[in-house]
Structure 1
Amino acid sequence: MYQNEPLFLNPEFKDRLWGGTKLRDVFGYTIPSETTGECWGISAHENGPSEVRNGPLAGKKLNEVWESNRELFGHESGEHFPLLVKILDADRDLSVQVHPDDTYAREIEGENYGKTECWYIIDCDPGSEIIFGHHAQTKESFEQMIEDGEWDQLLRRVPIEPGEFYFVPSGTIHAIGAGTMILETQQSSDTTYRVYDYDRKDASGNTRELHIERSIDVSTIPHQDPPFHPVTTEENGLTQIQLVNSDYFTVYRWEVDGEYALHSDHPYLLVSVLSGEGNITSSEASYSLNQGDHFIIPSTMKECHFEGDLEMIVSKSNKE
């Protein structure tokens, strides 16, 4: 199938104990509850696939398009779509958690992928922080501090500001703090091991399940901060910052100011509009772009034209 237009997607939303209403209040989404924590903007995962809303594929789920129209993705190999893009509204602290790598996820969980992810801080309240790593130097001390509940001594807290970026490889102990909105680009996995949940109880008075043994199995000890070397390039109408280039994905922040013509030999690009408005034009048609839009530029769309004042997070798969 030859398609010379972007694939716009309708997100899926997830109610979470820690969620709020900013996905509605800031992005204008119609959310299912007052505790909506996640917008799965670009997803082919079975737990929440996005739906195409334009063109001849309208009404199809992204996982179906991946199966039936692989030419739109440069004939990339692999049974499953590799990436998942979310916007998270942390009205309350998320649990402290860790994710497995590919090998562990496949052998133990039967999942397609492990979960390496990254965060772009869209906005946060003054004084907000994340948990990023831990202070234990050995597995023995890590286990002992968990057993003794020495969370203040174990967990590494980092203050954050809007516009910051964090790469979170599998094995990294982490948590998003209250009052934070992030865009998360990750491997397409829904496997999370919960280490600590502040002894919170749900509406039924039950504490949530912890996964201590598996958390210990997969955690990186001692913690290692991944390198961060952003690369900025400028073209006519575009400022591009490469935020990370990992084994699984490359993620960019794009600022379009005026007009920008994209000529690309990419397999496909995942795009989320964080702010501003404008349009994208191909030889087929022109489409308006607004805050909260999520779309894919397929590999068959070699040229397009952006116009407006736009801030976007753009990613591509690095899967062979």
Structure 2
Amino acid sequence: MAGAVLLAVMMLCTGCAAQKELPKQAEVGFYLDTVITLTAYVEDRQVLKDALEECGRYERMLSRTVEGSDVWRINHANGAPVEVSDDTMRILQCAKEISEKSGGAFDVTIAPVSTMWNFTREPHELPDAEAIARAAELVDYTRMQLDGNTVTLPEGMMIDLGGIAKGYIADQVKEYLKGRGVQYAILSFGGNIVAIGKEKPDGTPWKVGIQDIDKPTGEHMLVSLNRGGSTVTSGIYERGFTLDGVRYHHLLSAETGWPVQNELASVTIFSESSMEGDALSTTAYVLGTEKGMELIESLEGIEAVFIARDRTVTYTSGAAAYMVE
């Protein structure tokens, strides 16, 4: 979705010591079906390799398709209680809160429906409508019980953390790198961008492009600022296909099981927590501009940019402060 414009920097050492230039180092990995690029100003590149190992650890914990993961065990428990990690429970608690605030527009129990869609297979085909309808009946976050570190899901229901886990992992990798002494970094998890440091070492801002909805990946329609927080975009151009003039994409309705068809092409969320931003970008898209604006305006410290299919741009009340004119 987005990338960051990174420039060579010069960092002054404390006191009267000579100037020292920290090299810009980068490592790339592929986790959770996403290319992850970690770029930081550090002496030792190994810290970035170690951070990618953290991504792998979280994937083994949170992926729906990795046998033995917390999510896999929940989905294969046939209704029995499952004890999960603190990480998984934090994600599920956040997901539940956003589900409640949005009236179910966001729902991690979407898996019975999402597993029926394949947006990469060609030729493109639509799932059976009756099968989708039956699967949609199994989507209901209110039936997911969370008690301590125990999750209970009725038999036949499944969860998919694809709309929130990347944000959580981005937050955790950020904290891991800070714990290893990294002071300046930009971390790309596909549509999730998080920064360490309110600006680059030379005092210039981190810039994050917001994808042009009508152009190839990497071409930006808008440019935003990241001041050490999170920038997350969800859009219909990310994963999907067009068939008979209709765009079928991965942002699904928990009620119908079909891709949401509204006026929007993308939503970008500015927040401190990338986990919240991840879930809210999907939620705000599903709600549409009017209701999505109402939700984001009700949340402290969170702003959004809504881009409609006709390229109309709508900002929440504080979003302009994040934009490059």
Q: Which has the higher helix share?
A: 2
The structure richer in strand per residue is 1
